Amino acid sequence: MAGITREKFIELLNKDLGLEYTACVQYTQHQGVLKGAMYQSIQKELIIHAQEELAHATILASQIDYLAAKQAEELNLYHLAQQLRTILAVEQEHAMDLEQALGE
């Protein structure tokens, strides 16, 4: 366990779990305030993202997980490290989807 203690790891995981819940609420709130046909594609994307964030939170809550793959591997939690890589890939996709939907 070089570099990180189990207690610190759990603390960081709980912080990230809170961030997943926050993202879920924010995506839900944002899609609810957008009005007009021109925003329909963005609304749909935000709903999808909110559902994905909730799925991430569910994964984290069931294992009390989420930090970074390197720290998970330091703790020999290889399955968690793989799940984290999957979550991070989806997070990157969210950013790209929103940039595209907003025309950036």
74 contacts 3 by C-beta, under 8 angstroms? yes
pTM, 2 dp: 0.62
> What are the residue boundaries of the structural domains of the chain, listed by start?
6-101
Q: Residue 69 pLDDT more than 90?
A: no
How large a percentage of the chain has pLDDT more than 90?
15
Q: Residue 25 pLDDT more than 90?
A: yes
pLDDT band at 64 (very low <50, low <70, confident <90, very high): low
Here the contacts of 73-77 (C-beta below 8 Å, separation 24 or greater) are 74/1, 74/2, 74/3, 74/4, 75/1, 75/4, 75/6, 75/9
- The pLDDT assigned to 22 comes to 94
Q: Regarding predicted confidence, which is higher, 45 or 94? A: 45
φ, ψ of residue 67 in degrees (nearest 5):
-155, -105
How confident is the model over 68-89, as a mean pLDDT?
Answer: 82
